[in-house]
Structure formats: structure tokens, C-alpha cells
Chains A and B, each alone.
Chain A
Amino acid sequence: MTARLIFTFSACAALLLAVLAGVAIGETQIEPGVVLQVLANKLWGAGHVLDPIDEGIVWNYRLTRALVAAACGAGLATCGVVLQSLLRNPLADPYLLGISAGASTGAVLVAVLGLGAGAISLSAGAFVGAISAFALVLLLARASGPTGASAQIILAGIAGSQLFNAITAFLITKSASSEQARGIMFWLLGNLSGVRWPSVWLAVPVTLAGLAVCLWHRRALDAFTFGADSAASLGIPVRRVQLLLIGCAALVTAVMVSIVGSIGFVGLVIPHAVRLLAGTGHGRLLPASALGGALFLIAADILSRTLIKGQVIPVGVVTALVGAPVFALILVGRRHTR
């Protein structure tokens, strides 16, 4: 019990520090004292006299960015844990189910072809695309094998992803101007620059709700350790739990992708890294992965804004640049701990 309290306390502290770092570091130099004063002004009306531009940058631009990055990282890492457990495949990640590919197709349909005649935003298009792609993948998995067979879902996901990626590339080549294509590409690789407060109010509750649902089912997730049959023999209603949790993961991922584009590697690397530290029990693994994902994505966002002066690198590029070597290290390390 005390261990749990200590974890909760350090998690909150680490998260707070990371968000503060995200707010304080950036292109425009803003003194840490000023940052704190802005926060004090906004949170409890401290009434410090400040430059409104500084205030705007800190409150509307950097803080929202850090909070969405945290929510997104936590959400993707949680989804990664759940999918790896349920599908019994260490390669499973939130984008495996065709979700990001579908989102990109949806976004391109809206942005390039003007589908919805301006009534639908890029994000809404991405969300609809993500959910449609996921539904298609599920149908394909179901048509091709017995329900709950994880290999079927993974294969269907790969087929679906390839199809939707091809459609996206086709549409961009055929119809997009070079400026549109550049915008879409940037978004496809993950883009946190467009987020403001409405995105925060969407991303944070969705992540918290997703995490809560998964934590509620932590024993069921544990029971999948030796496969679906074993879980059933331990009293888990396998099909119901699989549908609920995979659906939940798809929904969280679709929301995240619709806000920031597809940010790879978080959902794959973070769960593997955290498993080394926190063990395999989902009661600890889920919150620890959520924390790890949040910290990782805030750090990646800071790097993406500061690595090249005057330019923002797509955050997905940073996560992959850092994530791939880390993943390689984990693979090698795991072999040695045998």
C-alpha cells in the first residue's frame, strides 16, 4: 500500500516537472520565474504584470502542447500494453489495427478532396477514417478465422494498413498540390503544433477514461499471460473482454491520431521498456506505462522543437529516432538477462 502511494506521488511529481520543462523550454527564451508567474496568474489569478505575448506563448501554446503530449503518450502506451497482452504478440502496437492508416486516409479525403465541404475538420475526418479502417480490419479478421485468434487480427491489420496507406498515397499523388502534400506529410508524422485548449479537453479525459477501463480489467489482462484458452479456464469471458478492450484501445488511438497525427513507436517501445522495470502484472504495468509514455512524448516534443534552430521536426520522427535504438537495446538486453 505504501509502495503504491510512493509511486503515485513520484508519478505526479515527475509529470509535473516534465510539463513545467515542456512549458519553460522553447524557441523564445522565457525566464522560469515568468513561466511560474503566468501559471500563477492563470490558475489562481495572482495578478502579476506580464508581457501578454509571453503569457500567450506559455498558456495557450506551450502548456497545451505539453498536456496533449502527455495525454497522447500515456494513451498510446496504455493501448500498446493492452494490445500486446490480448493479442499475445510482442509486436502489437496501436497502429497495427489499421487505425493510423485509416486516419490518414480520412484526413486526406477532407484536406485534399474537400470531402464534407468544409463542415468536417481534418481531425473529424481522421477519426471517422480510423474507426472505419478498424471496423474493416475486425470484419476481415472475423471472416478469415475463429473469433479471438490473435494471428488473424494481426494479419488483417497489416492488410488493412497497407490498403489504406496505398489509398492515401494515391490520393496525394493524384490530387494534392505540393503545399497540401507537405502539410499532410507533416501531419502523418505527428504534429503537436496545432493543439490548443479544446484538444486538451478531449485528449486528457479520453486517456484517463481509457486507462481506467484497462485498470479495471487488469486481472483479466493478467489472465491472458498463457493465452486465450488459459484465460477462459481462469474464468475470463474472453470474447467480451477482447472486444471491449480492443475497441477501447482503438477508440483512444483514433482520438489521439485525429488530434496529433500518427506518432509511432510510443505504443511499442514504452510497454517493453516498462515491463523490464515494473514486471508483468498489469496493476503496475498499466499506470507505469502511462507515466512512461507521457514523459517520453513530452521529452520528444521538447527535442522536436529545439533540435534544429527555427524549425520544428515532426515529433513522430523524434520518437522513432530515439525509440528505434532504445528498442534495439531492449532486445539485446533481454537476451542477456535470460
Chain B
Amino acid sequence: MNAALPVLSCCDLCYRVGDAQLLQGINLGVHCGETLGIVGPNGSGKSTLLKLLANLRVPGGGEVLLHGQPLKKMSQRTIAQNLAVVEQHADTHDAIAVFDAVALGRTPWLSALSPWSAKDTAIVEQALADVDASHLRSRTWRNLSGGERQRVHIARALAQRPQILLLDEPTNHLDIQHQLAILKTVHALPVTTLIALHDLNQALSCDRLAILQRGRLMALGKPLEVLTPQRLLNTFGVQAHYLTDPFDGTQILRLSSF
């Protein structure tokens, strides 16, 4: 695979609902193996961008390219074999067992000719182990806490064995231990990752960051280069300065309102 060619990219991407222009002229590319964080205030279009990149919505203008090929010319199944999504709000009132919920991730790989096999079971077990949820295997969905559900969702996405993983605020409902554990897992995965994040300090650990504001891409680059105090003031309306961790020299953002 050509490392220089982005695995997933979009050019001049636009999306509107009624009169509201949710996204406008977005150009970005994700390179093989990198973790691209997407940050921005509420309503800046993070979730919409992820939905367009996963072909869950049809763009009003522009196009998305997967390995250089237009997404709209691919079958949904082919897309799902390459790319998995963890949505922000995905719930069910079915009494589905955790193992079965994760097993749904194998859907794009199964057909009448290639039914469920021991290999699929192994992949599901591995996915459960990756998010530290093996012990939940036979629990029922509605008995899970918010954080446990989120981990199961991520396991389902991992069971798809995707090359690209799109995560919409995956740490949202988690306690701090599991937030850090999930981020560590995500960073360690041998996949290309797009991750929408709220916590800017967590976003600093991404390889690159895309900053969205009112549906436009304001900046794209290395975290410390794009998350400047001036831009944080303009985009998020907060005052910010960097501190240095005396233990390992890492930069930490300290944020405050006026």
C-alpha cells in the first residue's frame, strides 16, 4: 500500500439539512495508521462529518474517497469490510446478549456461502478482550451500565476487523479509568482511526487534529501546532495556556473561562 496516499479522504464535502448548512467545503485526508482527532464545540459538525465519511449520509456536495475510490460507487458491504463506526447514541430495547451484540460486527463478512465459523467466534472473543469486556459476554444489553455499553459498541466495531475505525466521542459515558483504557486501546490498534473528542487534553495524544467550527475546517495539523491559545479563544471561547508536566515533560492544556 502506498503510504503517501490517504486511505480515507474527502474533497469539498458539503451537507445541509433544510436551511442549516451543517458542513461546508471540508477537505482532509487520513493516512494509513495515523490517529486523526476531530475537535470542535457542540454543533460544529463532528458527528455529521463522521457519518458522511462512513456513507451513513449522502453528501450534498463533494465526495469521500476510500483508498482513492469514490465511496458512492462502492456497496455498503464493501465499505463495512474496510471501515467500522462507533456511534454516539446507539441503543436497543431488545434483550440481546453481549456476545451476540459484538457478533453483529461479523455481519459484513458473512453470507449464505460463508456462514459463521470458529474463526468468527475467535475474532469476537478477541474483540471482547481488547476492550476488557470478556466477563460481560453473557450479560444482557439492558443490564449494562453506560460505560459497559460503550465498550461493547467498540468491541462490535473491532469485530468488523476494519482498516479504518471511526469513533464518535467514544469516551463519553466512561469513568476516567475506562476513558484512558479505551484511548490506550484505540491508539494501540493497528488501524487508521478517526476520533471525535471533547476532552482537548485527550485530543493532544492524537497524531493530528482537525478543528471544526460551524461546519468549516478551521485547522488541520499536529496537536500542539493547531491547538494554539489564540485558536482556542476564537473557536471554543476559552482562555488557555500550556503547562509542562514535571515528570515527563508532556504539554498539558489548562483551560479557563473569562
Contact = CB atoms under 8 A, between A and B. Distances in A.
B95 to A, nearest CB: 6
A233 B87 contact: yes
B95 A235 contact: no
Interface stretch (B105-113, B172-180, B186-194, B212-220): B105-113
A-side binding surface: helix, strand, loop or mixed?
helix
Interface in B66-85: 75-81, 84-85
A233 B92 CA distance: 16
Contacts of A226: 87, 90-92, 101, 104, 153
Interface stretch (A6-14, A206-214, A217-225, A248-256): A217-225
A144 interface: no
B96 interface: yes
Nearest to A233: B85
Given A90-B93, A226-B91, A226-B92, A233 B142 contact: no
A234 B160 contact: yes
- Select the residue from B75, B76, B84 with max chain A CB neighbours within 10 A: B76
B216 to A, nearest CB: 24
Interface in A229-284: 229-230, 232-238, 275, 279-281
B104 A232 contact: no
A233 B104 contact: no
A229 B76 CA distance: 12
Q: What bracket does the count of chain A residues touching chain B fall in?
A: 20 to 34
Contact of A235 (B77, B91, B93, B153): B77
A4 interface: no
B104 A225 contact: yes
A232 B76 contact: yes
Nearest to B101: A225
Given A219-B110, A222-B107, A229 B51 contact: yes
Contact of B108 (A225, A234, A238): A234
Given A222-B107, A235-B77, A280 B90 contact: no
Contacts, number: 79
Contacts of A88: 92
Contacts of A225: 92, 94, 96, 101, 104
B100 interface: yes
B90 A229 contact: yes
B107 A219 contact: yes
Nearest to B90: A226
Given A226-B92, A280-B95, A280-B96, A232 B105 contact: no
B143 A338 contact: yes
Contact of A281 (B56, B76, B91, B100): B100
A227 interface: yes
B49 interface: no
A26 B85 CA distance: 58
Contacts of B112: 216
Contact of B104 (A222, A275, A334, A337): A222
A331 to B, nearest CB: 12
Nearest to A229: B56
Interface of B: 51, 54-56, 75-81, 84-85, 87, 90-97, 100-101, 104-105, 107-108, 110, 112, 142-143, 153, 160
Given A223-B104, A337-B95, A338-B143, 17 more contacts: A219-B107, A220-B107, A222-B104, A225-B92, A225-B101, A226-B101, A227-B90, A229-B85, A229-B90, A230-B85, A230-B90, A233-B84, A234-B80, A234-B104, A237-B75, A237-B77, A238-B76
Interface of A: 88, 90, 216, 219-220, 222-223, 225-227, 229-230, 232-238, 275, 279-281, 334, 337-338
